[in-house]
Structure 1
Amino acid sequence: MAFPEEGQVNAVAQPAAIVNAMTVDVEDYFQVSAFEQCIRREDWPQWPVRVENNTRRVLELFAHKGVHATFFVLGWVAERFPALVRDISAAGHEVASHGYGHERVTTLSREEFRHSIVHSKQLLEDLTGTAVLGYRAPSYSIGPGTLWAHDALREAGYRYSSSIVPLHHDLYGMPTAPRFAFVSEASGMLEIPVTTARRWGRNWPCGGGGYFRLLPYALFKRGLHRVNRHEQSPGVFYFHPWEIDPGQPRVPGVSRKNRVRHYLNLTRTVPRLEQLMRDFRFDRMDRVFLADGQGDYPVVALQPGEQRAN
């Protein structure tokens, strides 16, 4: 498979020591939170499944560029495509948990959340024979009202979470949280937020997702370059397998805002990813943040509504 080149953007001369984390949230197009009002969870089996083929395309793209990444895999996907999970691990990528059924933490009781993270962790470990260290909450739903989830994650044996985005967003976000990796004082859990750039007194997105398709690539390049060069910190980038799939089915009844978020510029994802991996260095979350010599992260006492800007 040949991947197109976006081109015409000069590569950034990267400091040798700065390696960013590349991450993939392995879920299908019909499982996103933006569609939950249109597609009931019990109806998921009725929709054409495209996550396996799309994820294999992602694996091919990474192999082509020589990049290793962390794949946050839904337990729902792992149960249906166990060979895919094994192949992700066999290709040298880190397999981490995205929970079981893409339920936002805000919709679960503490016991339901505990079951989701324990069940998905065990499922992934049984498939790969490797300890699952990381977790990412669906829709980044650890925030001011769900900080208790860090306690549950540590009790379940996770080493880190990447479940907070320090931005304002109507579906997620905790703009009062630190921008870089920190240890929660209350739980002792390492939290590694998705990357933002700090300019003009506020945080701006440069960590992937829909913003990567909707905003000019130059803004992401400039923001991540600032994080690497001026703040001397690794970034965390993410995307979904469905974002490289312009041919996916169109879901009826979706609001205009959610249609734009989900479908706009899907054809640009692969060329931009290619450009991103030329311009910056990437590796797995565990190697970027848990390797020997890492781990001297600030301890932060997060409080709902606490205002922080660092």
Structure 2
Amino acid sequence: MTAKPSIGMAGIGLMGHGIARNLLRHGYPLAVLEHAGNQPLDELLAAGATTRASGAQLAAGADVVILCVTGSPQVEAVLLGDGGVLQGLRPGAVVIDCSTAIPTSTERVAQAVAAAGGRFLDAPMTRTPKEAAEGRLNLLVGGDAALFAECRPILASFAENITHAGPVGAGHRMKLLHNYVSLGFVALLAEAAACSERAGIDPQVLVQVLAQGGGGGAALERLKPYLLARDPSGLRFFMSNAQKDLGYYATMAEDGGAAHAIADGVLATYERAVQQGGAQALVPELVSLLAQGGAR
């Protein structure tokens, strides 16, 4: 791999746009896959990015292909579908999947990449679009340790904390564990805030008491702007993505024979929230939906 390998990227959404921006800022040649779901590309194109019409074309010009799409169906489609990445993958090229995916699907995809002559890392991320834009994501990486070390400079261009979680699939397993805990905390706080609202408690008092006791932490900080001013920007994460991630966690837990009764309750809360508030509602809006009884 050269000092600045050429990179192809699929998935220029809220998170992917920040990743792409930082890759360019660090001097990596970058091509992005044209897709209707992309965020506006003007800034990236002005910085030197180019576009490709298919996954195969993207891979044909790339030493490394980074995926930042919604979930396992999209990962499988962009890699394995007609005109997909594997049809243009260079021998020895690396596929890095930064999406959130079902680990058993990840393992199958990694095998397909290897059969096509490529190498694979799963590297899902935590944090928000703000940190993505700042190059300060957290990455949880699964795959061969030597390949991880080889690719670390690329990952470090858009991530602050990078953890090698284990073999292929371990990154996605750790991401689902993280998101279950994170979104579970948010759901618990949202339900408590909804109860507090219906009981007539001043939101300032609620936030102060929780912050000074056992309710403090990242989840409260992200919900606080919504609790105090109905500003959802503290957690720009779609309700449908929360539902998807928790569904993936439930699948992983069930596949592994692990307990998941609490996870089932959290998933049901987000499912009802999507039904009542819509897929594009942001997660902090769960507070209002619960207060109204819509996601009860």
State the TM-score, normalizing by the size of structure 2: 0.31
Highest CA radius of gyration, 1 or 2? 2
Structure with the higher fraction of residues in helix conformation: 2
- Normalising by structure 1, we get a TM-score of 0.30
